[in-house]
Amino acid sequence: MINFEFANRVSDLHGSAIRAAFKALSRPGMISLAGGMPDPKTYPNRELSEIAARILAEKGVTALQYGITEGYAPLLEKTRARLKNAGIGNDKDSLIITSGGQQAIELVTKSLINEGDGVACENPSFIGALNAFRSYGARLYSVTVEEDGMDIEALDKTLSQNKNIKFIYTIPTFQNPSGITMSLDKRKRLLAVAKKHDVFILEDSPYWELRFAGENVPSIKSMDEDNRVLYVGSYSKTVSPGLRVGFLLGNEDLVEKAVVCKQVSDVHTSVLPQMMIDEFLSKYDIDERIKASAAINGKKCAFMHECMDRYFPDSVSRTHPEGGLFLWCDLGGDADSSAFAAACLDKNVAIVPGASAMPDPTQKTSAFRLNFSMASEAEIETGIKALGEIIKGYGR
């Protein structure tokens, strides 16, 4: 047997509770309200199948050859145009295609964080980003998410007291895991606070197009006047998560360094998926498809709320997102969401315990995340009914 020790930067990393829940999905009758996956019925299976076959038949040499690290040029051009139409980015910004939004987050972290440097992040937040920060030895400073987004006064105080913080990480639109959207006022104040303390903002925005209610709120990047906002986007929630195509837009010098870091990580994002998405954007009206997908999500979200009205006790609070894929529930009191999630798995329902979304992994929480996009309405009702029965027997 080989004796070894893990590197310090990964010794404290633990697998995502979401990935652990995926492993349980092979069990007969298991209902998943855990993952961050879109409704499979919204995937353009036929269109992408035809596109892939055509690319391999007509442009196979390009698709199967090495590509440039920055990304497939036609896709870069279309992505920049889509962002420009949304008021995102300017001539001072550089753009790189990444292997999903997750890699964009990792590349920013790799480019900026030395061990002991700080990241100010929302509490709760996205486990994938938190683990990326931890893997480079970052100290995480949590800032509470309120009903209208991050507590900006608390953020200002945190930055004043901790000069080692390199950037602020936020998911301002349909936040993961809470589903909350940051108000326009707070977005403006966030920019002002970042400028005051001279730090970057890492704006993670994979869900912003999936709005099914309410009015659009401008991205933080669209109001960025001094190129301190690094914008992460993805085609995972709008075309296909399996193709693993995302992007990073922002400060030219930082993105240039991210390109070098990406060369070390994977040389370039797989060319065939980039070409598939590029042609998909050329041949089809992606905005209409996104609108249809968001409408499906909205219907499912409303149905999940109806089921919770029916089966959950009034003591359980929950958020009311206007888009995205998630909502956030809180059992209240001293309930432990990790133990609750384990009890749910025993009843063949997978959820994400809130503890996995805490910047401080030792923090206990009574909250948990539910996904409303993946399951069918029948599965949603069965799952919520089962959760309600567990809650009622859980000392509530």
My answer on whether 212 and 300 are in the same domain is: no
Contact of 149 with 180, CB cutoff 8 Å: yes
Report the run of H or E that residue 369 belongs to, with start and end: strand 367-371
Q: Examine residue 62 and state whether it is found in any structural domain, yes or no.
A: yes
Distance (Å, whole) CA 390 – CA 245: 39
Query: What string of DSSP letters covers 23-57?
Result: HHTTSTT-EE----PPPGGGS-HHHHHHHHHHHHH
Instruction: Kindly tell me if the per-residue pLDDT of 221 is higher than 60.
Output: yes
Reduced to 3 states, what is the DSSP secondary structure of residue 162?
coil
Specify the amino acid at residue 34. Answer: A
Q: Examine residue 5 and state whether it is found in any structural domain, yes or no.
A: no
Distance (Å, whole) CA 222 – CA 114: 29
My answer on whether 238 and 122 are in the same domain is: yes
pLDDT in tens, 142-188: 999 999 999 999 999 999 999 999 999 999 999 999 999 999 999 99
My answer on whether 297 and 375 are in the same domain is: yes
pLDDT in the model for residue 396: 46
My answer on whether 129 and 75 are in the same domain is: yes
Q: Examine residue 158 and state whether it is found in any structural domain, yes or no.
A: yes
The CATH number of the domain holding residue 358 is 3.90.1150.10
Structure tokens at 5: 């020790």
Distance (Å, whole) CA 220 – CA 191: 7
My answer on whether 357 and 300 are in the same domain is: yes
My answer on whether 383 and 316 are in the same domain is: yes
pLDDT in the model for residue 28: 78
How many domains would you assign to the chain?
A: 2
My answer on whether 301 and 166 are in the same domain is: no
Q: Which of 283, 318, 345 is the last residue of a domain?
A: 283
Q: Examine residue 301 and state whether it is found in any structural domain, yes or no.
A: yes
- Percent of the chain with pLDDT strictly greater than 90: 89
Phi/psi for 139 (5° steps) reads -90, 130
Distance (Å, whole) CA 33 – CA 378: 12
Q: How far is CA 257 from CA 100, 133, 137, 186, in A?
A: 18, 17, 19, 30
My answer on whether 323 and 178 are in the same domain is: no
Phi/psi for 77 (5° steps) reads -65, -45
pLDDT in tens, 163-175: 999 999 999 999 9
Q: How far is CA 10 from CA 13, 136, 139, 201, in A?
A: 5, 8, 14, 25
Helices 152-161 and 184-197: crossing angle, nearest 10°? 10
Average pLDDT for 244-264: 98
Q: Which of 264, 283, 302 is the last residue of a domain?
A: 283
My answer on whether 82 and 72 are in the same domain is: yes
163: domain range? 45-283
Specify the amino acid at residue 226. Answer: D
Q: Which of 237, 261, 283 is the last residue of a domain?
A: 283
Q: Which residues of 235-258 are buried (b: 16+ CB within 10 A; e: fewer)?
A: bbbbbbbebbbbbbbbbeebbebb
Q: Examine residue 1 and state whether it is found in any structural domain, yes or no.
A: no
For the chain, the average pLDDT equals 95
Distance (Å, whole) CA 385 – CA 391: 10
My answer on whether 277 and 302 are in the same domain is: no
Average pLDDT for 30-40: 92
Does residue 27 or residue 104 have the better pLDDT? 104
Q: Examine residue 79 and state whether it is found in any structural domain, yes or no.
A: yes
- What does pTM read for this prediction? 0.95
Q: Examine residue 184 and state whether it is found in any structural domain, yes or no.
A: yes
Specify the amino acid at residue 314. Answer: D
My answer on whether 92 and 60 are in the same domain is: yes
Q: Examine residue 2 and state whether it is found in any structural domain, yes or no.
A: no
The CATH number of the domain holding residue 278 is 3.40.640.10
H helices then E strands: how many in the chain?
14, 14
My answer on whether 381 and 292 are in the same domain is: yes
